[in-house]
Amino acid sequence: MNVRALFKTLSMPLALAAIWAFFALKLDGDALRGLPDAKFIFLGSRNLSQLMIEFSIIGTLALGMFMILLTGQIDLSVGSGVGLIGGIAAVLVTGHAWGAPAALGVAFLAALVLWSLMGTLIVKQRIPSFIITLGGLLVFKGAFWLVIADETVPVMGVDENLFSRITTYYLPSNAGFILAGVVVAVLAGLLWRGRAARVAHGLKVPPAGRLGLRLVLIAGVVFVVVDRFNRFHGLPVTFLILATTAVVVYFLTRHTPFGRYLYAIGGNEEAAVLSGINVDRVLSGAYVLMGAATAVTGFMQTAYQGSSSTTVGDLMELDAIAACVIGGTALKGGRGTVWGVLFGTLIMTSLLNGMTLMAVSPELKYIARGSVLALAVWLDVRLGRD
């Protein structure tokens, strides 16, 4: 393994370790030194639980963005979309006394329609996705403010607990461990299936022992995480949403023709057309899936804030893009993994969470987020020259 490949492999773990070490020393120094009455702040179970909720929200949106970036396209409208879709649901529940399931269902369908329309404009009219989604950013933001009438709409109503409990409900400890076992089993099945498919096609595969070791490490991390959360209230239901989204996206991108088409289009769209891939249909499908991810994120973000206000979703499109690029997804398309996106999201979320605990001013937060995005793009350009 050459130096560049080694750096690409270790850069994310080292960056995450450095971020956690910095905030742990700054915020938990007394507790780490064992001083009396000192409590863990950043590494405490309560904050780790909140960090997991924030990670789940941004991660779900980033997974949707991942499928768009794989094709070499982009979506700048998702931040405004998060606010709009969450606002529609909140207004229906609070202002019109709808039941939460019906309100969430209507808002979800609205997201599918809106992103289907954007995808159609992009593929049928050959308009650059940057322009269409930039327009969507402005349109959705204005529509969002109209929907909530520039007011703060609380998440309450006839089913006042159902909407808000998206981010306040925690699984019991036993259920958390059972779920962890199911997740590990599903991941094992997907990894083994992928290895078997490569063997069947005569492709090079790592030794079975290495795959087994990887599964053991993953299982260890999963069960340690669940045990840590059980020391607070339990595993947040938002993590279940993220895990489900991640498994679905992983299956789509790695084990279906649709996923292979996403990579092929991003790698060389002209070659994909010549090989018989229906590029328009695949791109439209990617934007519909982006709409679904935006809707789910909108529900979680609005519930997490406890209300729909004009600031919901601000800059989340940049957080999602940064998470993908940090995780190794190429802006030009054709390269990236679900694992990388989740790792990039954890890095971004940890940075924001730590700065909040340190009471960093909003101005410096904006500078940090912009700097991380610029650094991620620079690394993508530099390390992508293989």
Beta bridge partners, 170, equal: 236
Q: How confident is the model at residue 85 (pLDDT cuts 50, 70, 90)?
A: very high
- The CA distances from residue 271 to 66, 77, 169, 171, 261, in Å, are 21, 29, 48, 47, 11
Task: Identify whether the C-beta of residue 285 lies closer than 8 Å to the C-beta of residue 258.
Answer: yes
Give dist(CA 345, CA 323) in Å, integer. 5
Domain membership flag for residue 199: no
The predicted structure's pLDDT at residue 261: 94
Domain membership flag for residue 215: no
pLDDT at 23 over 80: yes
Provide the CB-side half-sphere exposure for 125 (13 A, CA): 11
pLDDT at 158 over 50: no
Contacts of 72 (CB under 8 A, 6+ apart): 265, 266, 269, 331, 332, 333, 334
pLDDT at 302 over 70: yes
CATH, residue 362: 1.10.3470
pLDDT at 161 over 70: no
pLDDT at 357 over 70: yes
Domain membership flag for residue 201: no
Give dist(CA 5, CA 367) in Å, integer. 30
The predicted structure's pLDDT at residue 159: 47
**Winning range, highest mean pLDDT, from 155-164, 177-186, 242-251:** 242-251
Q: Supply 319's token pair.
A: 């957080």
Domain membership flag for residue 228: no
Domain membership flag for residue 360: yes
Task: Identify whether the C-beta of residue 48 lies closer than 8 Å to the C-beta of residue 353.
Answer: no
The predicted structure's pLDDT at residue 341: 93
Give dist(CA 289, CA 51) in Å, integer. 25
Residue ranges in 72-172 assigned as alpha helix (H): 78-94, 100-124, 129-147, 160-164
pLDDT digits (tens, 9 = 90+) for 338-356: 989 998 999 999 999 999 9
Segment among 23-32, 205-214, 300-309 with least mean pLDDT: 205-214
Segment among 11-20, 113-122, 335-344 with least mean pLDDT: 11-20
pLDDT at 263 over 50: yes
75: which DSSP letter? -
pLDDT at 74 over 90: yes
Q: Supply 78's token pair.
A: 């998702």
The chain-wide mean pLDDT, for the chain, equals: 86
302 lies in which domain range?
Answer: 3-172+234-383
Domain membership flag for residue 143: yes
Q: How confident is the model at residue 116 (pLDDT cuts 50, 70, 90)?
A: very high
pLDDT at 164 over 80: no
Number of domains in the chain: 1
The predicted structure's pLDDT at residue 126: 87
Domain membership flag for residue 197: no
Question: Could you write out the DSSP letters of every residue in 162-177?
Answer: HHHTTTT-EE-HHHHH
pLDDT digits (tens, 9 = 90+) for 178-236: 888 887 888 788 777 777 777 777 777 777 777 778 788 878 878 887 887 787 787 88
Domain membership flag for residue 138: yes
pLDDT at 48 over 50: yes
The identity of residue 122, as a single letter, is I
Give dist(CA 62, CA 139) in Å, integer. 21
List phi, psi (to 5°) of 77.
Answer: -95, -5
Nearest to 84 by CA among 165, 138, 134: 138
Question: What's the pTM value of the predicted model, to 2 decimals?
Answer: 0.88
